[in-house]
Amino acid sequence: MPDIAPGGIYTDVQSRLVNSASNPNNCFCGWYVYYSSVCTHVYQEVPVHCGARTTKSGKSGFCVTPTPKNNVGAVKINVKCRTC
């Protein structure tokens, strides 16, 4: 499993988008969870949006509730998590 530097997360996530039937229009909105290869804890959860970021009532919105979480297991981040 390849490792990437922390700065590569936002580029990498674009190749890992997963459409979710639970989201409006089957979009790829959700949290993408990256893990550390050093300590194996969650390194960062990356929010990805598709479409509007507000609800019809004008409040801040993000996907559906609960928001899908996609564990990214194909790559790891090559540093310790922030809590270690």
What global pTM score does this model have?
A: 0.81
* pLDDT beyond 70 at 38: yes
Residue 84, domain member (yes or no): no
Residue 83, domain member (yes or no): no
Q: What's the total number of domains in the chain?
A: 1
Residue 28, domain member (yes or no): yes
Where in the sequence is the domain holding 28, given as residue range(s)? 3-77
* pLDDT beyond 90 at 36: yes
Model confidence pLDDT, tens digit, residues 7-16: 999 999 999 8
Residue 82, domain member (yes or no): no
In the chain, which ranges are E strands? Answer: 3-4, 30-36, 42-48, 69-77
Residue 50, pLDDT score: 74
In this predicted model, which residue has the larger pLDDT, 57 or 12? 12
Residue 41, domain member (yes or no): yes
Residue 57, pLDDT score: 67
| CA 71 to each of CA 2, 9, 47, 54: distance values in angstroms, whole numbers, following the listed order | 15, 13, 12, 25
